[in-house]
Copies of this chain bind each other. A is one copy, B any other.
Amino acid sequence: MSLLVVGSIAYDSIKTPHGSREDCLGGSSTYFCLAASFFSPVRLVSVVGEDFRDEDMALLQSHGIATEGLEVAAGKTFRWGGEYSADMNTRDTLFTELNTFGSFEPKVPADWRDSHFVFLANGHPSVQASVLDQCSKPDFVVVDTMDLWIQTAKDELMALLQRVDGLVLNDEEAKLLTGEYNLISAGNALLEMGPKIVMVKKGEHGCFLFNQYFQFALPAYPTSTVVDPTGAGDSFAGGFMGYLAGNGRVSLHNLKKAMAYGTVTASLNVESFGTDRLSTASRDLVDGRFEEFLQFVTF
């Protein structure tokens, strides 16, 4: 089934206890696309500046990512700089230069408007809603969000949640949006806001899935090699949505497998700076790690 993603592409400058990188390819939709591409072709709607490198465009296309919806606008590509703490559990944003992404108005190409699976990567809820306005009748829409929008655009976010099938966010955001300390209570409160499925990401503690009829949890893949956590959440979402779109059917069984594949793609992503590991890994490697992960969680 066709999979559409709308989100940012950025050049990131990252410092972690393992070193630093300047201007490496990043952004929510980049991580999402690369992770999803193991399982399904991907349609990318985003914007970059005139400085976007040919090799990065080629990298995306070589992974089966269609770039007809990738606008090259006058100006520079979005830039973000961040530095992680010694234990990697917190990070400081050093700078944010929105550049061309600051005035991004997503335009879904005409022949992509019938996409079956749609992922709205983190962005202003009004911009995310404008994408849905352009889609005809998607089967399964998942939206990501963050504390900034919960604090500054809550009404727009609440309206958007009535229009989506799934919501993905981290545990802090779940608590912030619901006012519930207890994660189970928060998950149930989020379901009442509209989505049929809520996925709460807990980083090194794994992830929860909430639905009216069932709940499911997975730990994170047990990696001791965490080089750069940037993009872990988007890589999770990419593996999750990519697997579902590749399979075509959103069942309980497939949701569980999709969460496990998301866990695997996220675990690969954090093992190197930027997209290095995701962009060079093979489907065989992903499947091998999936089998290994099953051993870790199978009862």
Rounded to whole Å, the gap between the CB of A297 and the closest CB of chain B is 6
Interface membership of chain A positions 95-128, coded 1 if the CB is closer than 8 angstroms to chain B and 0 otherwise: 0000000000000000000000000000000000
Given A202-B205, A205-B205, A206-B205, decide whether A185 and B296 contact each other with a Cβ distance below 8 A: no
Q: Do B184 and A88 touch across chains, with their CB atoms under 8 A apart? A: no
Q: Do B218 and A188 touch across chains, with their CB atoms under 8 A apart? A: no
Complexed CA–CA distance, A132 and B71 (Å): 71
Q: Do A299 and B181 touch across chains, with their CB atoms under 8 A apart? A: no
In the complex, chain A residues 209-235 whose Cβ is within 8 Å of any chain B Cβ = 214-219, 222-224, 226
Residues of chain A having any CB pair with chain B under 8 Å: 86-88, 181-185, 188, 202, 204-206, 208, 214-219, 222-224, 226, 256-257, 260, 294-299
Nearest chain B residue, comparing its CB with the CB of A204: B183
Nearest chain B residue, comparing its CB with the CB of A85: B181
Q: A217 contacts which of B86, B183, B226, B297 (Cβ < 8 Å)?
A: B297
Task: Give 9 nearest A-B pairs by CB, closest first.
Answer: A217-B219, A205-B205, A184-B224, A87-B181, A185-B224, A184-B222, A182-B224, A215-B222, A298-B299
**Would you give 22 A-B contacts (Cβ < 8 Å), ordered by A?**
A88-B181, A182-B224, A184-B222, A184-B223, A185-B224, A188-B224, A202-B205, A205-B205, A206-B206, A206-B217, A208-B219, A215-B222, A215-B296, A216-B297, A217-B219, A217-B222, A217-B296, A219-B219, A297-B297, A297-B299, A298-B299, A299-B299
Complexed CA–CA distance, A80 and B71 (Å): 64
Q: A216 contacts which of B183, B206, B260, B296 (Cβ < 8 Å)?
A: B296
Nearest chain B residue, comparing its CB with the CB of A203: B205
Rounded to whole Å, the gap between the CB of A299 and the closest CB of chain B is 6
Rounded to whole Å, the gap between the CB of A184 and the closest CB of chain B is 4
- Could you say which residues of chain B place their CB within 8 Å of the CB of A297? 216-217, 297, 299
Nearest chain B residue, comparing its CB with the CB of A259: B299
- Could you say which residues of chain B place their CB within 8 Å of the CB of A257? 299
Nearest chain B residue, comparing its CB with the CB of A217: B219
Q: Do A222 and B206 touch across chains, with their CB atoms under 8 A apart? A: no
- Could you say which residues of chain B place their CB within 8 Å of the CB of A224? 182, 184-185, 188
- Which of A182, A202, A208, A298 has its CB near the most chain B CB atoms (within 10 A)? A182
Given A86-B181, A87-B181, decide whether A299 and B294 contact each other with a Cβ distance below 8 A: yes
Q: Do A214 and B295 touch across chains, with their CB atoms under 8 A apart? A: yes
- Could you say which residues of chain B place their CB within 8 Å of the CB of A87? 181
Q: A218 contacts which of B184, B216, B219, B260 (Cβ < 8 Å)?
A: B219
- Could you say which residues of chain B place their CB within 8 Å of the CB of A299? 256-257, 260, 294, 297-299
